[in-house]
Every structure is written in structure tokens, then in C-alpha cells.
Structure 1
Amino acid sequence: MTRSGKRLWARLGIAVGSLLLVPAVGALAVLPPPSVPAIDPHGPVNFLLVGIDPRGTHTKPLADTIMIAHIPSNRRGVYLFSLPRDLVVGIHAYPRSGSPAQRTKINAAMALGSRVGPDKYDVAQGFDLLSRTVGSVTGIRKFDAGAVLNFEGFRKLVSVLGGVTMVIDQDVVSEHLKPDGRPRDRRPGCQGHHKCLRPYVGVQKTYRKSRVPVRLRGWEALDYVRQRYGLPRVDYDRQRHQRQLVKALAGQVARDVVADPAKLPAVIGALGDSLTFIGGAHGALAWAGAVRDLRLSTPVSVTLPGRALFDDGRYLGEQLDPGAREFFAAVNGDRVSRYVTDHPSMVD
């Protein structure tokens, strides 16, 4: 394989990683397999996808989206589930960043682990502490691979594809944007800082419930899946919408690239530096080939049961219900298919 071909496969491996290394592998059919040692995963396989805001290396990265893809050992299906970003958990001490043990919201784990110097932060190092924290919650001892993608990367990917088609399953009103996509105005006392909980005023972009799929532009798709205020289940509804977007994007990437292979460089290039791939002992090339060979089906989206945690009326974060622990036990016991069959209400 030529050097340019290997670079393309490396970028493709990263792109696949951004889509949870699972359902977009149909796009790989248009290229020959990479000339790297093959991975033959045994037993269940788990991937971790983290979404962050594009804040730069000088700002602590917060994990606004924490999503897991679980593949059973029989390879019959892919199960997507999310952890609330405000889930209150214990985070272990992390000597590499100088972070002490503490109990706080799980989205802080990446920020706490990412410090590499004064006002300098490394996403991959933060991912390490976050993955350990997620493992403590779920019982998943180690993730086989993962990816950190900032939301701008999702927006660019959707834009390169010419939009994404997905069902709007409930009315959603944007907290952040006007109907034309411009940022909403800020209240006079909330200018120039982020201390206000809900600083915006004025007209809002609205996404109406529709039984038929709706075509969303890049900025619309990103805005839609970031909303939680005003939704009946708040962050749990947002998590579901984010999983829906990942599924829709994955399928669309596969279909579009197979139909028109010339789109592949643009699709890969859209992610640019927006994504960091973490492949464990193997690189992106090896994982791209491994996922290609799995020939997996469309993911099943699972919503974990949970609720808000309050102290004398003050919001502290989120906590998961006992049903979530039972689900985690099924994941780690390699019997998740049977569990969701017995608990259909958890399937979106």
C-alpha cells in the first residue's frame, strides 16, 4: 500500500472511531483492507465515545457527551447507551495531573485528568481518567478503544454530507439559537461571562415533532442534540437524541460513501483535528480493519433509568436507578440481549 493510501486508511480509522467504530463500516467496502496486523477480538467488545466543546488546549475539556457501544461476544447486535454528564460519582486521584480523589459530576473527570502543565491540557490524558471513572460506574474494566470528538467536528461532518435525516421524536426548543441559526441575545447582567445558568433571551429555534424523517443542516443537528431545557426527561432525552444522531450519521456515511467513493476524502477531512482516536494497544488502521470484518447490524439504543438528585431544593446532579446497575451486570455478564428483551421499556 502506498504512503498516501496508508494515511487515508489512518484517517478512515479515526472517522470510524468517531462513529463508535461500529455501524459505518459499510464505507470501508470501497477500499482495500489495510496492510497491518489484524485484530481478532474475543469476547464482548466495548467502545467509549466522548463529545466535548471545542475549547482549545488552553482550556479544561468537559465531557458533555459520554456514550458507550457494547458488542456481545456472539456479535449479534450493537448496544448504545449513555451516562448523564451530571451523574454524581467518585473520581479517583490521578497523579499524572495532580488531581486528588473527589466526588463530583462525571463530566469533570476528563478535565481533572487532562492537565499537563500551566493552562495546558491534553484530551487523550483526560480520556484516560474519564474511561477509568466510567469503568467504575459500569463495571467495564477496560474499553477496547474510543474517540473524543468536539461538537464542531459533528457539525462539519453533517455539513459535508449535505445534512442528516433523522426523526424528531418530540418538540424541542433551542436554548442557544435563533430560528436563523444566529446566537440568541444575552441578558444585560450576563454579558462577558458564563456565571448565569440561563443567560439567553429572545426568539428561539424550534424543532417540531415529526413522524417522518426530517433533514437537518449541520448547525441544526448539533443544536438539536444539545438541548435539554424544557424536555420531559431533561438530560435523558438529550442523551437519546445524541444516540439517534450517531446512528443516523453512521448509516448515512456508509450509504453515501458506498454510492459515491469520491466523497470519502471530504468525509474524513471534515473531522480534521476535531477528533482524537484512542485505540489501546492497536492503532486506527488495525481497528478499522477489525470493525470492517465484524459486519455488525444497526445499533440498539438503550436509555438508562435515572433521576435528578436534590438537597433541600438545590440541584446536585443526576443519579442512576437500580435498573441501570442490573443493565450493567447484563453487559458485563455478556447477556445484554436477553436483558433488553425482558425490559423493552429501556429500548428507545
Structure 2
Amino acid sequence: MILGAVLMVVSGGLLVTSQALLARYEGAVTTEDLFGEGDDVKPRESDIKGPLNILLVGIDPREATQLPLADSIMIMHVPAGLDRGYLFSLPRDLLVEIPAFPKSDYRGGRDKLNAAMALGSRVPGGGNPDRAKGFELLSKTVTNYTGIQRFHAGAIVNFNGFKKIVDAMGGVVMTVDQDVVYSEHLKPDGTHRPNNGCGCEHPYYGPRAKYTKGTHKFKGWQALDYVRQRYGVKDGDYGRQRHQQQFVKAMAQQALSKDVLTDLPKLDRVIRAAGESLVFNGRGHSVADFGFALRGMREDAITMVKLKGGTVRNSSGGYAGEGLQPEAKQFFAAIRGGTVDAFIAANPEMVNR
């Protein structure tokens, strides 16, 4: 679901394929001030050096007047060699301390992680939400929780663009790891299920799209719908995170396949759709700079990391959110200390297959 990691890898591959196509990709990417540093920020160095941490956020396609929701949050950690990466998700319902943010008149408090995007996007005095400031508060919240002090780049991916990328590639092949997953929102033909207006947690009714265990070639709407399911999925949101990571890997494999890279009209459609779906900030570096820096990385060098967690109850015993297990803090410490390779080698059960 979060395509930023794939886009970084693909752009590196494109550098040795077609400079003209890469220029079209970069020209389609929207750049915004996601870290609150101003428009005149300059790169600290001319060359990008590792280790790197990249924050990737997927948002729902919503009206301009609606607060954006961080539906999926991932971090790509790239060790100093810049030839491999570790991709992990943070639960959207993770209970965290969200710091005060004067830019949106937010005083700070304890809430679910995905709320930070909406809370930071509010414009004092009214006006359409500011997604860049929402990302800024989300990044500060993630920094406080993980101890990762600096994100070297950030990206927002809109799900409408996501579907266009998959369709531009002619679909994507991936494996469904559960017997049957029923869609909460869509019918078997991809249209929306009716809403009964009850105001309840599951207001939709009628026939549902389903995804059976095995290998399938998904259209854009199918891929997006499948990786967004969490109700009825084993392990709930943690299962959904696993499916998202599986999709990122499948997407990378197909984007770098000969079927795409040697078909220049298809490649052009893919990179333009990718660029149009992406809002990027490289703290003074362009998406092409990062693509060049990561040119030695391939999809089989991206390790998907799973962080186990569980339900947090409130004082009345009701659901309050999610909390990660202590091993997550050890993993974050390994990122800060530059020892992720050794940590994962010693904890192979944390690798998502």
C-alpha cells in the first residue's frame, strides 16, 4: 500500500534505463514542505550518505475540506551501505503521546497514531486542512515514540494514484495467505457496497468481494481493497500490515521486471502514474537524488520486519488502541545504533515472509 519504498527503488533502476523517463517521473512528483523547514532548505551535503530513515504515509482519498487520515504508516531504514533496506509498519491504532503543535493549535495529548495527521492538518481560524503540516506532526510523533531523531525523506501516497499504478503495470501478481478474506467496502465487481446509514461500526450491506488463498493477478481496485482489509483478517491490523508489506514486495518485483522495464510505453505510463501519486520531501534532495543513491538496491534486498503488539484496554475494559511488545523498542534501538543487521540475524522470527 505504501509505494514510496518501491518508487525509490524503481527510480534508481530507471537511471540506467532512461534519463528522459526519469525526468518525466520526477516532473510529475509534487514537492511539499513535509518537515516544516521552509522552502529554502539546502541539502547538508551534495551526496546522500547512509544510514537513512524514510517515513512513508498512505492517506485516504478525501475531499479537500476533510482532514486527511494516515491509513498506513511505514518506515524504510537503509543501512550505511545503501544496498539493502528494512521496511516496517507502525499500527494506525498505536497509542502514543502526540506532542503540542502550535501551528494547528493542538495542545498535545495521548491518542492513536493515525490521529496525528488529522490533528496537525487543522488550520486555525478555518480553511482547508494542510496535509503537509499533518505529516510534520506525524513525523514528530513517530520520532518521539521510536527515538529515530531524523527522517532524511518523507512521502505521502494517495490511494487513488495507487490504483492507477497497478493498472498501468497491467495488474500485479501476489499471494493471498488466508483461506478467504471478505471485503468490508466493495462488491465483487469493485463498486461500493451500500451504506445503511445506521451510524454503526459496520454499516455496509450486500454482496462482498472475496479474496481466496493462493496466487492471483489483481487489478488496481482489487489490490488496494485486499491490503486495506483488517476486519475478518487473522491478527486484525497486524495481518493487514503483513499484507501491505507483501504487496510492496510484489509491486517492486513487477516494477523491476523485464515486462515493465523493456516495454517503454508501459514504463512511461507506470512512472507517470507513480509520480502523480506521490508527495515528496527529501530535505533539499530530489527524488532523483535518492533514486541514484539507492541504485544498488533491488527488491530482494528489502527485508519486511514485523513488530508484534496487542490490545490496550481503557479503565472500563474497553478497546483503547494498540501497544507494541518490548522487542520493538530493542529494534528501534538497533536502528539508532546502526546494528539492525545483527539484531535481525539474532531475531529471525521478526522477518515477515
Quickly name the TM-score band, shorter chain normalised: 0.7 to 0.9
Counterpart of 2:206? 202
Please say if residues 45 and 144 of structure 1, whose CA atoms lie closer than 8 Å, have aligned partners that are also in contact. yes
Could you tell me how far 1:182 is from its partner in structure 2? 1.8
Distance 1:260 1:239 in 2: 32
Count of residues paired in the alignment: 327
Please say if residues 7 and 274 of structure 2, whose CA atoms lie closer than 8 Å, have aligned partners that are also in contact. no
Counterpart of 1:3? none
User: Tell me, which stretches of 5 or more residues in structure 2 are unaligned?
Assistant: 27-42
Please say which of residues 34-43 and 299-308 is displaced more in the overlay. Answer: 34-43
Pair 1:180–1:26, CA change in 2 (3 A): same
Please say if residues 161 and 273 of structure 2, whose CA atoms lie closer than 8 Å, have aligned partners that are also in contact. yes
Pick one of 229, 232, 235 that aligns with 2:234.
232
Per-residue deviation, residues 187-219 of structure 1 (Å, max 9, x unmatched): 3x43xxxx4211112222111111xx3201110
Distance 2:303 2:144 in 1: 23
Please say if residues 45 and 71 of structure 1, whose CA atoms lie closer than 8 Å, have aligned partners that are also in contact. yes
Counterpart of 2:40? none
Runs of 4+ in 1 over 4 A off after TM superposition: 15-18, 33-39, 293-297
Counterpart of 2:81? 74
Distance 2:149 2:143 in 1: 5
Asked if 1:56 is matched to 2:63, the reply is yes
Counterpart of 1:157? 165
Could you tell me how far 1:279 is from its partner in structure 2? 1.1
Distance 1:16 1:52 in 2: 12
Pair 1:297–1:209, CA change in 2 (3 A): closer
Counterpart of 2:347? 343
Asked if 1:265 is matched to 2:273, the reply is no
Counterpart of 2:286? 283
Could you tell me how far 1:43 is from its partner in structure 2? 3.5
- Report the 3-state secondary structure (helix = DSSP H, G, I; strand = E; otherwise coil) of the residue aligned with 1:157: helix
Asked if 1:324 is matched to 2:328, the reply is yes
Pair 1:271–1:19, CA change in 2 (3 A): same
Counterpart of 2:147? 139
User: Tell me, which stretches of 5 or more residues in structure 1 are unaligned?
Assistant: 1-14
Pair 1:145–1:323, CA change in 2 (3 A): same
Please say which of residues 287-296 and 221-230 is displaced more in the overlay. Answer: 287-296
Pick one of 145, 148, 151 that aligns with 2:156.
148
Pair 1:145–1:20, CA change in 2 (3 A): farther
Counterpart of 1:9? none
Report the AA paired with residue 328 of structure 2: A
What TM-score, normalized to structure 2?
0.85
Report the AA paired with residue 207 of structure 1: Y
Could you tell me how far 1:132 is from its partner in structure 2? 1.2
What TM-score, normalized to structure 1?
0.87
Counterpart of 1:184? 193
Pick one of 102, 111, 114 that aligns with 2:109.
102
Percentage identity across paired residues of the two chains: 49
Could you tell me how far 1:169 is from its partner in structure 2? 1.2
Distance 1:181 1:296 in 2: 29
Counterpart of 1:304? 307
Counterpart of 2:184? 175
Distance 1:289 1:342 in 2: 31
Please say if residues 55 and 61 of structure 1, whose CA atoms lie closer than 8 Å, have aligned partners that are also in contact. yes
- Within 5 Å, give how 1:10-49 maps onto structure 2: 17=4, 19=6, 21-22=8-9, 25-32=12-19, 39-49=46-56
Pick one of 117, 120, 123 that aligns with 2:128.
120
Could you tell me how far 1:237 is from its partner in structure 2? 0.6
